[in-house]
Structure 1
């Protein structure tokens, strides 16, 4: 396969697999009531279906870089898709809650290899100057999956069986396998490094426990003292990993990469920004359905302009970054995202569909530019031999930040709702308006994280002229 064909096809290979993963992860929650009725259990007891998937991801992602370096990117990526597809079939055939949880754990194990290995392959295959265009394709599934997932899931549950949600993955998985075997390069490290079992125990346990606490937040009644205690334990495990990694020749995650400014700002700045935007896929359907009284299908359609704008933005992000540079774009764009989130506080039952569509389009446009910029800048100054480690660390931070963002959105909305019943549309609408203003303000403040960038940072990716000395 010639280099031109590889570079034209590889982003589509990775995007196809990641879209399957992201869409599946967001459609399942919509089907929980139907699944519970079919499996003869209470809906809350199926919370383990989502939690088990999250836990499997939290433990599996940090291992993915080492596995890809040892066994090769093509083999590991193909195996990840196969495991995910087979696990999807098992989910669709499950006859009990226990079988469903076991299948979801297996599915999470496959998904944990997809994002970091896919990113690592993109970074190795493309020159720095070509990385931005390639990343435009890879970021799209992560943006539109959470937006289309509830709509697709709702339509499937309404017009077919909840089991179809999982069976849809089969043809997509087969297509992805064909693309992998035809176009995926096989990168691996010649020098074999030992596996950090202690690091996996500390970091895996810490992130799994923290992810579980965030996943059950607001949906289970958990004793406050037990919750605080478990939170402290998870932080203690993560701190112990930091101390361990500083004195280990081959750590699970090499924290020394944070010494690279563009990588550090990308991960930390992206993490803080997601605290504001991460709760929107939860809050916005709540505003449309409970606050405004719209049916689920209409609420889903109103989310689609955001996805459409996110896809359309890939044609403009490269010229914008080339013209203005990463620092200028990330500082200004983060403020614009926050301001757009605040616009939802103006939405009432009298708001026109044109106004709602305009907000969705604007938010999708700015979100797409934000995470395309953050994701591509992360690798601007990373050496090729460190790409798998960098991709693993970026994926781990993204997974945790998504959980944090959802928890923050839930907490803020619950705080403003107080003791008012969720059947009170006026109270729900007022609480959500305050939540949007709070999250928008938090997002605007997160722009400060990008001020530490320099004008020429990421110039080798964006093509921006470097800052003169």
Structure 2
């Protein structure tokens, strides 16, 4: 008689996928869903729209502030514990946002949401990448693409729909049941992993890196609209850069740094991080400027302009299928080096005079951007962690998210600077600066082609004697094996 094996009710890998997807969908959706409701929120609370904008600003700045400490917390207290605590805090904060009686309460709750969201992404990806061996990670493209592509794209139309037909409170209430179910599944099915229980907390690094990222995010977000010489923006930028310089110097010298910047010396991880910054800058920049170009050249409404970029999310969804099939055959270097120049060509096509005047051509090109650039982005994300040792995975994920976040913010700021005042001009608008900004994003993507040549040539293969069917017992399993019956 064969051995009796008693396994957990929820398979660990399935639990990781379910909980990660739910949490990242909530986080991705909340980064964009509030935008269409800001006018309504301001009116309900009797506040100007400029004051209501703090609802979104508080979330984005707090999101950046939470990133530096994510890796240390996960290693010190366990990835499962920290992830579920952050997910619980995000869910509770969502409920408080929906019940907020005034703007101050809403902003405070959004700040808590942002802090929790800053922990969720790197710690969640650490859980995901530790659960799957390098040769299995090409399967994760379908998991990674849903929250990072579809949810942010769905945010504005869903936010407008809920605000118009229900109320803006439901923008936050939708998170509560999803978050509660995800916490329950995670509590039962996730495995705990504590990496550095005895590592001391780098207080100096924390007090340098955390405000640096918050101030830089604030300056990059508001510099283009309020002016780079505005006192709040200028001070935030100068102090943020100074603190960042001191933070980097400290991290390189500290014996137990908060952020292990030396991980960038790893050829594949360092290359992937640079590519993450460049692709995030290009993609976020074009998603910012294209709706403005669409309105300037075609006179389209804001809703039409927003819908014109939505096919990009559909292309990204299909990119996960492409990566799953092409990565094992072509390898990360060849696949990325082919996808990035093609993406740059598509970006450039959007800037050709006469293209923006055709709504269906714009939609087709945005679909192509999602498909081609999405293939490159997913490949980079999967290949960059191939040589990262398991003990460093939490730190590596935190650094990767910081670089990508700052890259996206920098891309938007760069495009806004090229556009200048044209984005706010009423009446006749010259589409020229908008097209120039699109060319800038194409150049950023093209530059990534040279960097991609440093990626690994082949996708990781399975380790020797790997048992493909043993997908629930690796990493030390929770299965309890009984003695064979006699």
| TM-score, normalisation: structure 1 | 0.90
Alpha carbons of 1:167 and 1:61: their partners in 2 closer, same or farther (altered >3 Å)?
Answer: same
1:387 aligns with 2:389: no
After superposition, the Cα gap between the structure-2 partners of 1:234 and 1:421, relative to the gap in structure 1 and judged at 3 Å, is closer
The alpha-carbon deviation at position 197 of structure 1 amounts to 0.7
CA offsets 1:413-468 (integer angstroms, 9 cap, x no match): 227x3xx86333552x3432232123212321232222333534x54489xxxxxx
CA contact (8 A) 1:380 1:461 kept: no
Contact 1:376/1:461 (8 A) holds in 2: no
Could you tell me which residue of structure 2 aligns to residue 441 of structure 1?
443
Q: Which residue of structure 2 lines up, in the alignment, with residue 141 of structure 1?
A: 147
Deviation at 1:290, TM superposition (A): 5.1
Contact in 2 for aligned 1:135/1:375 (Cα 8 Å): no
Residues 367/252 of structure 1: CA separation in 2 closer, same or farther (3 Å cut): same
**8 Å contact 2:383–2:455 — kept in the other structure?**
no
Query: Who is 2:426 aligned against?
Result: 423
Q: Deviations over 1:341-381 (max 9, x none)?
A: 22222475985554233212211112321221121122100
Number of residue-to-residue matches in the alignment: 457
Go from structure 1 to structure 2 and tell me whether the alpha carbon gap of 1:183 and 1:290 turns closer, same or farther (over 3 Å shift). farther
Q: Name the counterpart of 1:196.
A: 202
Q: Which has the higher helix share?
A: 1
1:17 and 1:350, CA in 2 relative to 1: closer, same or farther beyond 3 A? closer
The one of 452, 462, 471 equivalent to 1:450 is 452
| Structure 1: gaps of 5 or more residues | 463-469
Please say if residues 10 and 189 of structure 2, whose CA atoms lie closer than 8 Å, have aligned partners that are also in contact. Answer: no
| RMSD between aligned residues | 2.5
C-alpha change, 1:343 and 1:146, in structure 2 (3 Å) is farther
The equivalent of 1:152 in structure 2 is 158
- What secondary structure sits across from 1:40 in the alignment? coil
Asked if structure 2 preserves the Cα contact closer than 8 Å seen for 1:205 and 1:234, the reply is yes
1:312 maps to: 318
Deviation track 1:207-254 (CA, whole Å, cap 9, x = no partner) reads 111111112122324635764454232222112112212221210011
Cα distance between partner residues in 1 of 2:252 and 2:9? 39
After superposition, the Cα gap between the structure-2 partners of 1:226 and 1:92, relative to the gap in structure 1 and judged at 3 Å, is closer
The 5 Å alignment of 1:263-274 reads 263-274=269-280
- Structure-2 change in CA distance of 1:287 and 1:178 (3 Å): farther
Q: Measure the CA separation in 2 of the matches of 1:383 and 1:68.
A: 15
> Alpha-carbon deviations, 1:93-127, whole Å to 9, x = none?
22322222111111112111110111101111111
TM-score, normalised via structure 2 length: 0.87
Q: CA separation in 2, counterparts of 1:133 and 1:241?
A: 36
2:416 equivalent in structure 1: 410
Q: Structure 2: where are the runs of 5+ without partners?
A: 1-6, 464-486
**Equivalent pair of 2:79/2:192 in contact (CA under 8 Å):** yes
Q: 2:180: which partner in 1?
A: 174
For residue 146 of structure 1, report the CA deviation from its aligned partner. Answer: 2.7
CA distance in structure 2 between the partners assigned to 1:23 and 1:86 by the alignment: 16
* Counterpart in the other structure of 1:255: 261
Deviation at residue 62 of structure 1 after TM alignment: 1.3
Q: Does 1:41 align with 2:47?
A: yes
Change (3 A) 1:461 1:103: farther
Query: Which of the pair has more CA radius of gyration?
Result: 2
1:139 Cα offset (Å): 3.5
**Stretch of structure 1 that moved more, 133-142 or 234-243:** 133-142
Shift of 1:203: 0.7
Q: Deviations over 1:391-428 (max 9, x none)?
A: 1111221222222122122222227x3xx86333552x
Distance 1:269 1:432, change over 3 A: same
Q: Distance in 2 between matches of 1:51 and 1:225?
A: 17
CA shift, 1:333, in A, is 1.4
Counterpart in 1 of 2:225? Answer: 219
Residues of 2 paired with 1:375 and 1:350: CA distance?
Answer: 31
Which deviates the most, 377-386 or 338-347? Answer: 338-347
- Cα distance, 1:25–1:225 mapped onto 2, change above 3 Å: closer
Name the CA distance, whole Å, in 2 between partners of 1:301 and 1:212: 27
In 2, Cα distance between equivalents of 1:141 and 1:350: 28
* Equivalent residues of 1:196, 1:252 under 8 A apart: yes
CA contact (8 A) 1:155 1:297 kept: no
Is contact 1:292–1:425 with CA below 8 Å preserved after alignment? no
Residues 437-446 or 104-113, more deviating: 437-446
CA distance in 1 between partners of 2:407 and 2:9 (Å): 35
Q: Which region of structure 1 is more displaced relative to structure 2, 369-378 or 121-130?
A: 369-378
Residue 85 of structure 1 is aligned with which of 88, 91, 112? Answer: 91
The equivalences for 1:14-25 within 5 A come to 14-25=20-31
Identify if the C-alpha distance between structure 1 residues 297 and 236 changes in structure 2 by more than 3 Å, giving closer, same or farther.
closer
Relative to structure 1, is the Cα distance of residues 318 and 237 closer, same or farther in structure 2, using a 3 angstrom cutoff? same
Deviates more, 1:140-149 or 1:381-390: 140-149
